[in-house]
Structure 1
Amino acid sequence: MENPCKPTIEEKHYSYSRVTETNLKSDGPKAEVRQIDCSKKGFGFMKKDEPPPPPPPLLEMAPPPYSDLGKRAKDVFNKGYHFGLIKLDCKTKTGGGVQFNTGGVSNQESGKVQGSLETKYTVKDYGITFSEKWTTDNTLGTEISIQDQICKGLKLGGQISFSPQTGYKSAKLTSAFQNDRVALNADMDLDQNGPIILGSAVVAHQGWLAGYQAGFDANQSKLTKSNFALGFSTADFVLHTCVEHDADSEDGQTFGGSIYQKINPKMETGIMLAWSAGSNNTKFGIGAKYDLDADAAIRAKVDNASQVGLGYQQRLRDGVTLTLSALIDGKNFNNGGHKIGLALELEA
């Protein structure tokens, strides 16, 4: 059999008419006609000089607010653990769109029980959200926010809380703006002792994130917070570093960092490190989460103080999730003091 891609191909002319379509209606046998590209790259069914398709464009995610920088690593260490607590959360939604969230927490050490009831309603046509919350501490809270109405990406809100028993009142004004390049936040806490202003900005460029956060006490006319963060984020890898200074903290400046990596669709890992200049205290931890299947997951973490945390989460059925957790003190294993936790989440 001759090689169809040899350099010299003899051209032949036939007397019958040229066939331009291969899908002809005929009762006789059908023949398939193909065009063979004998270029150096081998066989192909495209034009010889046709350029390759362009690569897909690079998709950039909107930067998160400053408080959410490094959040994916924090979730590996915090989510799914309820040491020393028994929790019950119930979420439901009416046909009219009103959401009800009811929760209760029992502290096994102090024996104190706390509960809360929250309602939320959203007017989607106007971007307005109303929410009210009541706690067993006899505190009433109301919040209203409006989003994407004045301009796209802008969210304005206000919060008011009142304790009838003590007469304590507080209010807070919030504002946030976010687009593909920047995330801005400015909050004002209208405390009885004087307003406290907290502002932050995060910019993003090709996966790199840089942010700054500052807090100012108008009553004392001093800067209470001055934090800076730098990081890099992709779909399955996040690097976060920060330098934080809190005037009200004894630790002084704190240098911290975290790494998050999603090794495969079932495995997530996280590393956190922090060092305080004032107390010369170092904190280090490693955590991981592994999805056994679509309904079950296990978690584990350990830090430099030999505190070992274990967690198991199981979705019993749609809307019912059970979480078990345990904290083991590795340094005092025989002396006890270990903690267990239980959480049940109901959603309908």
Structure 2
Amino acid sequence: MSLPQPVPPSWKDLGKSSNDLLSRDYPIGFVQLEVKTSTPSNVAFKVSGKNNDKTQVIDGDIEAKYTNKPHGVVLTQAWTTSNLVRTTLEAENHLAKGLKFDLNTILAGNGSAKSAALTSVYKQPGLHTRAVLDLFKGPTLTADTVIGRDGFLLGAEAAYNVTEGKVTRYAAAAGFSAPEYAVTLQALNNLNTFSASYYHRVSTDVEAGAKATYDTKATTQGVNLEVGVKSYLDSAAFVKAKISNTGILGLGYTQALRPGVRTSFGLALDTNRLNEATPSGPAHKFGASITFEG
């Protein structure tokens, strides 16, 4: 008798473990402050601001999120410094168990831009499928499905432009996921970009991962490779390091100062230019992030 199958990850979460290892907790090239609070009435607030070194522009937004768990409804609304209003309405387990609907809208304060997308997600043991209808772009219908059994995963995605009557994007993926490690192979961008990633929890204190990407449409042929590792110093701090085949070394350090207060620092170095007296260019960047949560 086979064991009950878990719900597989969504299409966008395939390879998430390795992607998070190689991209998260590296605040490089910006300084960010984020404050999260919640109320007893199930309303959560988030205020964030980011100063980008490249654009020298401070971007920020304020977000309010109301959750009604008994009725499976979540309403989120945010207002950004770009004068955009984002609204998301989520409803889950109403028509059927495992079925979720999302309505996401974006409206500019001056009415110059707008978007709306209706998303349906259906999750069952061994199946995770999603359909997104972008009402203003196309309209375009995007569907993806991931099936899983005994750790093996197969997924596919396709986008169909309703007005033009043709498929505009398609992709496929395969992988294997276990509690200690995961391997993912993806063919994206109409099967023109190929990537392979792996994640391995070596021990309770050490995680390792890598990702290789090959783009058949790139002007410079070759495989881009990135390798990273994460090590917990104690229960409140960890360090991360990654390096790519182009010689860019990334370093990250995250420390929980107290419950609800976390700070992260990131550094990127071009190892090919370490001997320069005054390093410059897109590498050699520093950044920091502070998060308050209560």
State the TM-score bracket (shorter-chain normalisation).
Answer: over 0.9
- Partner residue in 2 for 1:312: 253
- Partner residue in 1 for 2:103: 158
SS at match of 1:73: helix
- Residue 346 (structure 1) shift: 0.2
Aligned length: 287
- Residue 60 (structure 1) shift: 4.1
- Residue 125 (structure 1) shift: 1.2
CA distances 1:26-67 after superposition (whole Å, capped 9, x unpaired): xxxxxxxxxxxxxxxxxxxxxxxxxxxxxxx85643101100
Is 2:288 the partner of 1:342? yes
Higher mean displacement: 275-284 or 181-190: 275-284
The 5-angstrom pairing of residues 1-348 of structure 1 reads: 58=3, 60-191=5-136, 193-246=137-190, 253-279=192-218, 280-333=221-274, 334=276, 335-337=278-280, 338-348=284-294
CA distances 1:219-238 after superposition (whole Å, capped 9, x unpaired): 33332211110000000110
Unaligned segments of structure 2, at least 5 residues: none
- Residue 261 (structure 1) shift: 0.3
Compared CA separation, residues 307 and 226, structure 1 to 2 (3 A):
same
- Residue 218 (structure 1) shift: 2.1
SS at match of 1:331: helix
- Residue 262 (structure 1) shift: 0.2
SS at match of 1:88: strand
- Residue 277 (structure 1) shift: 1.4
Conserved? CA contact 2:214–2:223, under 8 Å: yes
Q: Provide the rounded CA distance (Å) in 2 between the counterparts of 1:147 and 1:213.
A: 23
Q: Provide the rounded CA distance (Å) in 2 between the counterparts of 1:203 and 1:176.
A: 14
Q: Provide the rounded CA distance (Å) in 1 between the counterparts of 2:39 and 2:165.
A: 47
Runs of 4+ aligned structure 1 residues displaced above 6 Å come to none
Q: Provide the rounded CA distance (Å) in 2 between the counterparts of 1:81 and 1:59.
A: 37
Q: Provide the rounded CA distance (Å) in 1 between the counterparts of 2:261 and 2:153.
A: 37
Q: Provide the rounded CA distance (Å) in 2 between the counterparts of 1:182 and 1:235.
A: 19
Equivalent AA in structure 2 for residue 236 of structure 1: E
SS at match of 2:22: helix
Q: Provide the rounded CA distance (Å) in 2 between the counterparts of 1:302 and 1:220.
A: 43
SS at match of 2:103: strand
Higher mean displacement: 324-333 or 261-270: 324-333
Conserved? CA contact 2:212–2:226, under 8 Å: yes
Alignment root-mean-square deviation, CA: 1.5
Using the aligned pairs only, state the percent identity: 29
Q: Provide the rounded CA distance (Å) in 2 between the counterparts of 1:60 and 1:150.
A: 23
More strand by share: 2
Q: Provide the rounded CA distance (Å) in 2 between the counterparts of 1:61 and 1:236.
A: 16
TM-score by length of 1: 0.80
| Bigger relative CO (Cα 8 Å, ≥ 6 apart) | 2
Conserved? CA contact 2:4–2:125, under 8 Å: no
Q: Provide the rounded CA distance (Å) in 2 between the counterparts of 1:147 and 1:264.
A: 36
Q: Provide the rounded CA distance (Å) in 2 between the counterparts of 1:166 and 1:131.
A: 20
Q: Provide the rounded CA distance (Å) in 2 between the counterparts of 1:66 and 1:242.
A: 10
- Partner residue in 2 for 1:38: none
* Structure label with greater radius of gyration: 1
Q: Provide the rounded CA distance (Å) in 2 between the counterparts of 1:159 and 1:342.
A: 30
CA distances 1:136-181 after superposition (whole Å, capped 9, x unpaired): 0000111111011211111011112110224322111001011111
Conserved? CA contact 2:87–2:106, under 8 Å: yes
Equivalent AA in structure 1 for residue 165 of structure 2: S
Equivalent AA in structure 2 for residue 336 of structure 1: P
CA distances 1:68-117 after superposition (whole Å, capped 9, x unpaired): 00000001001101111000011000121100011000012221100001
Unaligned segments of structure 1, at least 5 residues: 1-56, 247-251
